[in-house]
Chains A and B, each alone.
Chain A
Amino acid sequence: MEVNPDLVDFIPIGPPVELPFFCGPLDLLLHLIRKNEVSIYDIPIVTICDQYNEHIRAMQELDLEVAGEFLWMAAWLLQLKSKLLLPRAVEEEGDPREELVERLLAYRRVKELASILHDKDLVRQCIWPAGVRPDIGDEEVELDWEEVDLQLLAETYLDVMQSFAAAHPPPLEVLPLRYTVQDKMREIYHRILSDNLIPLMRHLNRRPDPEEAVALIVATLELVRLGAVRAEQRDPFTEIYLRKGERALDETEFQEPEDEVVDGP
Chain B
Amino acid sequence: MDRDTLNALIEAVVLTARGPVDADSISLATDREVGEGAVEETLKEMSAQWEEAGRGIRLERSAGGWRCITPAQLDHYLRIFHGISSHQKLSQAALEVLALVAHRQPVTLPEINFIRGTNSSAVTRTLLERRLVRLAGRKKVVGKPFLYRTTKEFLLHFGLDRAEDLPDPEELVEAETASDA
Contact = CB atoms under 8 A, between A and B. Distances in A.
Interface in B10-61: 14-15, 18, 60
Contact of B90 (A111, A112, A118): A118
Given A109-B173, A135-B88, A128 B69 contact: yes
B159 A124 contact: yes
B151 to A, nearest CB: 13
B67 A130 contact: yes
Contacts of B73: 126
Contacts, number: 130
Contacts of A117: 90, 95, 98-99, 102, 158, 166
B170 A109 contact: yes
Contacts of B78: 128
Interface stretch (A1-9, A22-30, A56-64, A220-228): A22-30
Contacts of B176: 112
A112 B60 CA distance: 26
Interface in A126-149: 126-133, 135-136, 138-139, 142
Contact of B167 (A25, A116, A118, A123): A116
A45 interface: no
| Binding site secondary structure of chain A | helix
What band does the interface of chain B fall in when counting residues whose beta carbon is under 8 Å from A? 35 or more
A131 B70 CA distance: 11
Contacts of A75: none
24 contacts: A25-B117, A26-B116, A26-B117, A26-B118, A103-B115, A105-B173, A107-B115, A109-B172, A112-B169, A113-B100, A113-B102, A113-B169, A113-B172, A114-B95, A117-B95, A117-B158, A125-B87, A127-B69, A127-B159, A129-B68, A130-B14, A133-B84, A136-B82, A136-B84
Interface of A: 21, 23-27, 39, 67, 69, 73, 103, 105-118, 120-121, 123-133, 135-136, 138-139, 142
